[in-house]
Amino acid sequence: MTSETLDAVGATSSGTERFGHWIGGREVAPAGGVYRPTTSPVDRSVSFEIADGDGRDVDAAAAAASAARHAWAVTSTAERSELLHAVGTAVRENLDELVEAEIAETGKLIAHARAEMLSCADYFEYYAAVVRTLHGQTIDQGPGQHTYTRHEPFGVVGIIAPWNGPLNQASRGIAPALAAGNTVILKPSEFTSAATLRFARLASAAGLPHGVLNVVTGTGPAAGAALVRHDAVRKVTFTGSVPTGQVIAGIAAERIIPLTLELGGKSPLVVFADADLDRAARAAAATALMNSGQVCSATTRLIVERSAQDALLGRVSAILERKQPGVDFGPIITEPQFDKVLGFFESAAEAGATALTGGTCYHQGPAAQGRYVAPTVYKDVTPAMRIAREEIFGPVLVSLPFDDFDEAITLANDTEYGLAAAVWTGDASRGLRAAHLIEAGQVSVNGGVMTQETPFGGYKRSGYGREKGAAAIYEYTQVKTVSLDLGPF
């Protein structure tokens, strides 16, 4: 592999900023010498050029991560904590630089991008605190025996991050993995890599030892598969689609390595007639507008008590109709996903669903230059319709009515997914009862808040393993039992 200076790697003749991989604490050109453009979903213009990596680049990153892993694993938790704090501080101090790169490739609203970058800092600061509490157990086996457990790192961890929340979702894996004493090779999406590469530079400048965090960019088949298959990688975390997760799970099974999967969702928002409908409507509209529905845990199935359905949908539609592209919500991030959402609109029309608002992309004005689709609410939906069963990953809400509590739970669980759910009701006891019966990894009742401290992960085909919260750090450790015979007492 050849390497170049930052100046050589960092710009093209046209002036477009170019990024190499980040391996061993420095920027490295791709082994194949090929870069791929990323584009802005706002107007489809070229944003950056990103190294198009393959197995050779993964080999180089694995060598760097392997060389650094022992020294990092034996670093005290206090020192790791200080370094993670320093990384969080670096994110806060360089917020504008990271936000700029994120917006250039995702088109996110500036307020949303800033919130996600601040959340990245929160992850590193949170796990800097959690690692200070990481400890095993002592096991009483009687006089003369001293038995205890240790939580030890796996070594090299591979993390494959998605395109919808590039650095934010990468950080929620990087932070606990590093806190636990692992070194990391991260493969971001080829559509949205720039903010992560800028972050890797900042993390190294903040004091993270060379080789502890490496970033290899490229496609899933070329770089991602090589990462999962690499002998040096002893644990993998993947966030993305179910089909890709199945492929990765197959490789992990062959290699007998642990895997955390955060996959798709078709999450229900259950509204009872006695709920505060104004709050419930604002929550439903927010789930459509947040990242234009490109959130795995978005509660896009509105399961509403029949007597309140028209009132709720009228409120939601009124909110969404006032929203403007580029002002109140962003674009669909990738071209394939944009086409997929448009395909759902066609499917819904053919199936007989009624769009109370939206159901189309923009054909005129500045929004027509980008990948914007109108926030959409569907009524007259049946559980068998494609829009009711498949993850749309766009600003699209579908509504299904229910007549009693049992039917509400049946509809909520009538999905192959189980990532998240929300319940709105005037009866807190009923809300908690519903939360216990809904098959999902996290359930918010009447707007209950989920943060870095709350474990996140799925039931059913939404995946397994947990990210976020103190639980996540244990996903990146393996338990060792040590027993010492002290002799006669």
Could you confirm whether 416 is annotated as catalytic? no
Give the pair of three-digit tokens for residue 104.
């250039």
Could you confirm whether 361 is annotated as catalytic? no
Tell me the torsion sign for CA atoms 105, 107, 112, 114: positive
Choose, from 49, 125, 190, 262, the residue flagged as catalytic: 262
Choose, from 49, 102, 125, 164, the residue flagged as catalytic: 164
Residue 476 vs residues 140, 154, 256, 392: alpha-carbon distances, Å: 26, 7, 15, 31
Give the CA radius of gyration of the chain. 24
CA distance between the termini of the chain: 61
The bridge status of strand 18-19 relative to strand 376-379 is: unpaired
Helix (H, G, I), strand (E, B), or coil: what is residue 5? Answer: coil
Distance CA(190)–CA(296), nearest Å, equals 19
Choose, from 116, 291, 296, 305, the residue flagged as catalytic: 296
Looking up tokens 């002893």 gives: 234
Give the pair of three-digit tokens for residue 7.
């100046």
Phi, then psi, of 183 in degrees rounded to 5:
-100, 160
Please compute, for residue 321, the number of CA atoms within 13 A of its CA located in the half-sphere on the CB side. Answer: 9
Choose, from 49, 105, 116, 467, the residue flagged as catalytic: 467
Could you confirm whether 296 is annotated as catalytic? yes
Looking up tokens 């009701």 gives: 425
**Mind telling me the catalytic residues?**
164, 262, 296, 467
